[in-house]
A and B are shown apart, each in its own frame.
Chain A
Amino acid sequence: MSSAAPVPTGPPTTTRWRGGLGAFLATAKVPLGAVVLAFAFGSVLIWLSSLVTNHQLDLTLPLKAYGAMLEGAGITLDPAAAVNGLVNTLVQSGPLVLGGLAVGVGFKAGLFNIGAQGQFLMGAVAGAGTGAAVASWPGPIAILAALVAGALAGGAWGFIPGILKARTGAHEVVTTIMLNTIAATFIGYLVSGPLLAPGFSFDRTGDIGNAALPILFGTRNLHLGVFVAFAAVPLIWWLLWRSTLGFEIRTVGANPDAARYAGMRPGLITVFTMSLCGLLAGLAGAIEIIGITHFVNASYGTSVGFDSITVALLGQAHPVGIMLAALLFGGMRAGSGLMQIRTQIPVEIVDILQAVVLLFIAADVIVRRVFRIRRAGPKVDEIETVSRSYGAGTTL
């Protein structure tokens, strides 16, 4: 009607996936930039450490180190080493995929699930306990029982902060951190109490027998659980973008007031989403146990839950992004051994690289400045969820 079309300033920002590598790169600019900067930072660190330890500066040392890391992760021309490395990368990535989803789905609902750690641990101990209890059952049933138990235990550990937030407004960041600690000590109690297996020199859960996940392709440790983990990626993608439930989750995350106004129930969605997050992390824990370690001892610990936060942020809370981020971190872990053997650079450099990636993702201004990336239009992104999750609590 009005002939003067009010024009928005700036280029129109479309939301639909207009396909292709270009669109992917547009979304992935900042994460990719963060990774590049982190590796650059790592190079400086490697130079410095070689200076301190060997009193000489080998300028090519970072290249050698990263090259060895790539080779160890399976990026090599030697077929046997490639299979070896790729399998290792996949196995390392599995729990990070599920853990990353457990944090990323939360971001979509505006929730900062720091509790993937505790949910993972609960899933692990439930999987170990159930696996030991059903060790003599037929394999498929025993495995299923252990996985379901782990998923439910993790789900319960997510449900608690969910219901607390919906009912009382208790912030999930606070409650999940507390639940992480509770989970860690609760495992100690369970393993030295109700789940204690007799006949070992230390406190641990019993053998899981038939509940162990079958190893595929003979020699390697590629277990079935890895595929379960990667299968979750399309499932979660479908849930978020193709189902009405996912639409509700995303709406509550982007604007809880509008969600309520539109007849959605933010409280219910919060409980559901936190439970789903917990379920994914719990599943990761159970898979890790019945796939690799096969038991839990009293001091069982892992950093998967916290690494998952970095994975989710690096993956921009998108299932595909999370999968790629998990593969990157999994590959770094898989290749770090060879790196240490070849160049004497400790594997802990991987932890530093991860931490620096997280730093650059959080301080994306630096990445944007270095690579001259323009900020897109108004957007609720995952960092915003993180930064607003304290104080400016959403009313449900």
Chain B
Amino acid sequence: MTDPAPALEMRGITKRYPGVLANDGIDLDLRHGEIHALLGENGAGKSTLMNILYGLAVPDSGDILLDGEPVTIKGPADAIARGISMVHQHFMLVPVLTVAENILLGEETMANAVFLDRAEAHRRIVELGRRFGFEIDPEAKVGSLSVGWQQRVEILKALYREARILVLDEPTAVLTPQETTEIFDVLRRLARDGHSIIFISHKLYEVLAIADRITVIRRGRVVGTRLPSQTDEDDLAELMVGREVNLVVDRGESHPAQPELRIEGLSITDDRGRIVVKNLDLEVRAGEILGIAGVAGNGQDELVAAITGLRRPAEGRVLLSDRDITGWGPRELTDAGVGSVPGDRQRYGLVLSFSIEDNLVLTSYYRPPFASGLVRNDEAIEQWAEESIRAYDIRTPAADVMAGTLSGGNQQKVIVAREFSGQPRLLVLDQPTRGLDVGSIEFIHRQAIAKRDAGAAILLVSAELDEVMELSDRIAVMYRGEIVAIRDGRSADREEIGLLMATGGREPLEAVTTTMSVVE
């Protein structure tokens, strides 16, 4: 394929925010029918660049050319009109509406001035789906679809608007390995059909698997463009971070001792009273990391909530070194030596409008030395904050900076510093590195292993199968509220775990939903 002009060319894009040079003369070109991966740490400038492309930010200098024509993109509506579409990491779908209704939102196909032309819209949606290899039911409620299918709806939404350039922001973050493979098929078909795709991801092996070219951005500059055949994960990681990175932290030998956390016959109901964790037994020993692998929504959230005191189990017992802690509240659990890194860090883990200092004592503010009686001891809090910021490499100009202004990685380090401090007997890590860059991931993994080696029992819950595989001494697969298999962390087979996650090991592998199927 020889194109006279690439589908998209961004030339010398520079964007300065107060105190930060977010984009520093970035050049990027996207050929017709190309899948071009954009790699970079959090804060490297990918989002700024994509916001400029989508008309959400105005560059200080630089040009954008579509098919060789210089253009000024005035806003998202303008971008869409020019055939540029974004598929966001967090789906912008309305769960109670149908597939068709979601796709039509803002781009209604009208039969006349008043009524929608549903029949025509349905026909187009089904046809679009077929063209890219899947059969979709336009009448299905989006809320009833698996995330993999919701992703397809997002892509269809873009295609329905006749997008020629698609930007996918971490599209696989919430998918199982199988779903990822399926979405990759869809993307390849799109590219073959002449669509150009910018693929943003943190996952190096995925980028290597899907991209035609890979551009790496660091501190607002392009530091390299590679062909997948000429590079590997280590090379890319080094480019991204600017130094050698250990992608897989050496977990070393574990020396598990006595069971620290014992869960016996635990059943938990969700807010609607449905049983989401069924008669679950699990043991985490001191000095080991037990990882729970599972597709999101198989009861992991409720299990974590029950262990950390946010949800009262319906049945069963939770024991911490033989002490019954069932139904204890978060305060009592903290005092008993349970630390926990919540899955939704901004909702549960931090008060974004508070300083780093205040966030570092969020679970210990009432205890000496941070307080005597009712009186806060600010000096002790500040001193402790300075120590934590140094020990956990929290990048901030000062300890009294608002937590909300930190990057995701540094926010998570604040939580880790707080929860890992002291001598926790049990650490519950829920999605500890979700959305973080490789440098922060490496750091947090090292800290977790250090705590394990210091004798803490660690329960790791992650939607990231790689994380579970790399870190766990034992892997428990959770499926529909039950532990369906436990495997040794070092000898576990990735494919087998993925299969267990998708099927529970009971049914033959088939399409993820029953209402839809993948056609080839």
Contacts and interface: CB of A to CB of B under 8 A. Distances in A.
Contacts of A293: none
B440 interface: yes
Given A2-B443, A262-B362, A10 B405 contact: yes
B410 interface: yes
Given A4-B439, A6-B395, A378-B352, A258 B362 contact: yes
B422 interface: no
A22 interface: no
Contact of A15 (B348, B401, B442): B401
Contact of A378 (B22, B342, B404, B407): B404
Contacts of B486: none
B407 A258 contact: no
B330 A3 contact: no
Contacts of A247: 358, 365, 376
B402 A14 contact: yes
B331 interface: yes
B17 interface: yes
B22 A9 contact: yes
Contact of B402 (A4, A15, A263): A15
Contacts, number: 156
Interface in A1-34: 1-16
Contacts of B348: 257-258, 261
A390 to B, nearest CB: 21
Contacts of B101: none
Nearest to B441: A2
A15 B376 contact: no
Contacts of B22: 9
Contact of B329 (A241, A243, A263): A263
Contact of A12 (B333, B347, B349, B396): B396
Interface in A353-391: 377-380
A255 interface: yes
Contacts of A6: 41-44, 395, 407-410, 437, 440
B351 A244 contact: no
A247 B24 CA distance: 42
A48 interface: no
A3 B19 contact: no
B406 interface: yes
A262 B330 contact: yes
B401 A13 contact: yes
Interface in B381-405: 393, 395-398, 400-402, 404-405
Nearest to B436: A6
Given A10-B19, A14-B398, A243 B374 contact: yes
A81 interface: no
Interface in B307-341: 308-310, 329-334
Given A4-B44, A261-B330, A11 B18 contact: yes
Contacts of B218: 4
B351 A15 contact: no
Given A13-B402, A244-B366, A247-B376, A260 B397 contact: no
Instruction: With a 10 A CB-CB cut-off, give which of B240, B398, B442 has the most chain A CB atoms.
Output: B398
Interface residues of B, number: 66
B352 A1 contact: no
Interface in A254-302: 254-255, 257-264
Contacts of A242: 375-376, 378
A263 B334 contact: yes
User: Looking at A1, A262, A378, A379, which has the most chain B CB atoms within 10 Å of its CB?
Assistant: A262
A264 B332 CA distance: 11
Contact of A258 (B20, B350, B410, B443): B350
A251 interface: yes
A177 to B, nearest CB: 28
A377 B404 contact: yes
A197 interface: no
B178 interface: no
Contacts of A7: 19-20, 43, 407
B506 interface: no
B376 A243 contact: yes
B101 to A, nearest CB: 23
B274 interface: no
Interface in A207-256: 241-245, 247, 250-251, 254-255
B276 to A, nearest CB: 18
B421 interface: no
A245 B401 CA distance: 22
B272 interface: no
Given A7-B407, A12-B397, A378-B402, A261 B355 contact: no
B184 interface: no
B400 A15 contact: yes
Interface string B160-201: 000000000000000000000000000000000000000000
Nearest to A14: B400
A284 B438 CA distance: 57
A2 B219 CA distance: 12
A13 B406 CA distance: 10
9 contacts: A6-B395, A9-B48, A12-B396, A14-B355, A243-B376, A247-B365, A251-B354, A257-B347, A263-B334
Given A2-B438, A251-B351, A377-B404, 14 more contacts: A1-B442, A2-B439, A4-B219, A6-B408, A6-B440, A8-B407, A11-B19, A12-B397, A13-B404, A15-B401, A257-B348, A261-B310, A378-B353, A379-B402
Rank and list the top 5 A-B pairs by shortest CB-CB distance, nearest first: A2-B439, A263-B331, A6-B43, A6-B407, A16-B400
